[in-house]
A = this chain, B = another copy of it.
């Protein structure tokens, strides 16, 4: 295929880069944030909403679509783009992460992963070859190799074994991959161990993938550790390939990780937080359910150009959220994703203008990250809500 990534400009003070991803379904600017559409829908939104808020590429989960409705059904309904009615680019993950985090993993071997469906308990065997076949049938613009992603806290030896398996699987994925116009990304693993990260980056780049995912981060490790591992890893990745930090998406992390040389991100955080009433603003997260919004005639965030802020008072959104009205989930999702898209656009523009370092410093100074306790409490609520649909997200 033609070149996937064009590097447009590099920041001279940080490792930030502005570029373009060129896919069969159009080009998208980087740094890029991808909203997550696990089951073939970005929760609460229609494709028109995604276009209106400026989404470029979306992510869909192979694991979810494999279990329901089944990849063959998606194929019969015209492939994933037609299925979702989304004509922009789509990236699919390999399914590995969900097999390990959601599915009930029964046995992992060099051959593949045997797991039980979280929906009906049925047993399935995911191999690297199958992960590729499924993503080819879905018709993603970017597919990911199957990787083993152990939880944070596993020791060096467990991490090394998982990494070596990931390397072996990456080779098998590459060998099995055939679909024209679909780019296959390698994934660097190695947990929090700098030595393993270096080995993994070096091995993956030797396979010459058109882009590289960085997996196994943002899994509960301290932020400083994530950033230092990221520095080690990115330093070994080629300049001319996009770097995709998987599962990261808080505003402060996006800004900080772009500065470390990351080009692509995905995370369910903005959409999940929105459904739980946490909305982004320039100064940090706000809780729309808070009583101070009850009679607020202005928008959630003055100056925001999203549909929710242009159309409704924060008082109305507070009311919808308190009433658990379905419209609430859509509007807060729109706001959070639009906030994120505008953030990415401002990041890119500042890189082009040569002012990214100042932008980063000013943003991080003003934006108050949610403290660890609040995050833990939100996570608890979220896990609880997974028992009762439709707030949950995989």
**Do residues A295 and B390 form an inter-chain contact, with CB atoms below 8 A?**
no
Given A44-B326, A76-B295, A77-B295, A388 contacting B388 (CB threshold 8 A): yes
Interface residues as binary, A65-76 with B (CB distance below 8 Å gives 1, 0 otherwise) = 000110001001
Q: Within A315-340, which residues are at the interface with B (CB < 8 Å)?
A: 315-316, 318-320, 322-327, 329-331
- Of the four ranges (under 10, 10 to 19, 20 to 34, 35 or more), the interface on chain A belongs to 35 or more
A78-B297, A297-B77 are contacts. A319–B43 as well, Cβ < 8 Å? no
A44 and B324 contacting across the interface, CB-CB below 8 Å: no
Closest residue of chain B to A314 (Cβ to Cβ) is: B77
Report if A324-B83 is in contact (Cβ < 8 Å); known contacts: A295-B73, A313-B77, A319-B40: no
A148 to chain B, nearest CB (A): 27
Q: Does A84 contact B (CB under 8 A)?
A: yes
Q: A107: CB under 8 A from chain B?
A: no
Query: Counting CB contacts under 8 A, is A312 at the interface?
Result: yes
Is A319 within 8 A of B390, CB to CB? no
Contact residues in B for A295 (Cβ distance below 8 Å): 73, 76-77
- Chain A residues near B (Cβ < 8 Å): 39-41, 43-48, 68-69, 73, 76-78, 82-85, 294-295, 297, 307, 311-313, 315-316, 318-320, 322-327, 329-331, 388-390
Q: 10 tightest CB-CB pairs across the interface, nearest first?
A: A44-B326, A324-B389, A69-B319, A324-B390, A77-B315, A85-B311, A39-B323, A41-B327, A76-B295, A41-B325
